[in-house]
Amino acid sequence: MQPLRGRRILLGITAGIAAYKAAELARLLIKDGAQVRVVMTPSAGEFIGPLTLQAITGEVVRDSLFDPAHEAAMGHIELARWAELVLVAPATADFLANAAAGAAHDLLTTLCLASTAPLLAAPAMNQAMWRHPATRANAQTLQARGVELLGPDDGEQACGDSGPGRMLEPAAIHARVREFFADGRLTGRRVVLTAGPTREALDPVRFLGNRSSGKMGFAIAEALVAQGADVTLVAGPVALATPAGVRRIDVDSAQDMHAAVFAAVRDADIFIACAAVADYRPATVAAQKLKKGDSETLRVDLVRNPDILSDVAALAQRPFCVGFAAETHDVAAYAEGKLRAKGLDMIAANQVGVSQGFEADDNALLVIWPGGSVALPSQSKRQLASGLVELIVERFDAQTAAEDPR
């Protein structure tokens, strides 16, 4: 089990002698599959060079709130939204004071205010500083707000003192971060997901296709990983990067997708059919490029493609099945009919057309299951995916509990 696989962790480094340990911490997190981006306070570079962290993470290290290369796109807000967890190690007494006061003196403290992600902080300072009433009050204030303090440890310090104030060792912090993410509601569950369009060849250069961009399916894959799932994504031809922590299988046609799904789905717990699969394909594929003749028309005979979702739902030992319905009208009626006809556990329906659904960055969904439904309003596909996955988890858990009341 890899609870950190694909997790987005923002590692904050402040100006303490323990900053050198942050390199080992970053290495452990990345080795465990996490995505790590580093933000340093301006003075932290006196203790560890940003190039070291950049080499370990493969990401540019940020240390300035006023960075023209990023601020044109509001880079500090993008970072705040990107993070699933903000981890500050080491966290100096100065950082704890600023965080408790809600100050935003630099990029790191600004991110802590701007991000809704949980904050873990590993204090590191002289033992007298840790024991000072002001530091203790700041620590209590942060804990009352939900900030989790990791340590500090007790022992010898670089200044020669001994007592509480040492930063926890990287391995201990890494272990706590693993525990933090291990409670994902789909941890240990396997999910197979389809996304994007299919292409049905007419000849070596032409095909029948549709306008699906795959954005919704890829956002769902990312949301599933965030819940701890082991995700296999069967993707049609799209120009999208693979979400971190996702196993991707690229296919072209509906028949290819059918074969790939059935090679992966038999031991899956959940199957989500988000792809816009072509219902029909040309009966024959020309061996050479079709040429324009004298006729004003061209006849193409079509035959039905296999129905991937129906075939999965018909398995004797089947996973929890979630379908999608992209409709131009009568969305609820068509979705409910598809839910019943295919024997699905849930269906997510949306209206497609101009500026809606396909190729757009935002979407809205009507989610229906036997005995219930909920409308998810228009929002970014990434936000929508998180809401949909929450609903899937709730229904999956309810169904699992009903089948095994123990």
Provide φ and ψ at 276, rounded to 5°.
Answer: -95, 85
What contacts 322, CB < 8 A, 6 or more positions away?
270, 271, 272, 273, 344, 345, 346, 347, 348, 392
CATH topology identical between 8-182 and 190-284+298-403:
yes
Mean pLDDT by 10 residues, the chain (406 residues): 79 94 95 93 93 94 74 63 92 96 92 90 94 95 90 81 89 88 80 97 94 92 86 95 87 97 95 96 94 86 96 96 91 93 95 60 90 90 88 91 68
Q: What is the pLDDT of residue 2?
A: 64
For the chain, the domains span 8-182, 190-284+298-403
Cα–Cα–Cα angle for 78, 113, 215, rounded to 5 degrees: 25
What contacts 84, CB < 8 A, 6 or more positions away?
7, 8, 9, 117, 226
Q: Is 159 one of the annotated active-site residues of the chain?
A: yes
Q: 321's torsion region: left (phi>0), alpha (psi -120 to 50) or beta?
A: beta
Q: What is the pLDDT of residue 29?
A: 95
Q: Do the beta carbons of residue 335 and residue 347 sit within 8 Å? A: yes
Rounded-to-integer distance, Cα 22 and Cα 11, Å: 8
The C-alpha torsion from 187 through 191 and 197 to 203, rounded to 10°, is 130
Rounded-to-integer distance, Cα 187 and Cα 205, Å: 43
Rounded-to-integer distance, Cα 27 and Cα 31, Å: 6
CB atoms near residue 1 (< 10 Å)? 10
CATH number of 190-284+298-403: 3.40.50.10300, 3.40.50.300, 3.30.43.10, 3.30.930.10?
Answer: 3.40.50.10300
Class of domain 8-182: alpha beta
Residue of 112, 159, 274, 321 with catalytic role: 159
Q: Do the beta carbons of residue 187 and residue 3 sit within 8 Å? A: yes
Q: 25's torsion region: left (phi>0), alpha (psi -120 to 50) or beta?
A: alpha
Rounded-to-integer distance, Cα 14 and Cα 48, Å: 10
Strand partners, 197: 276
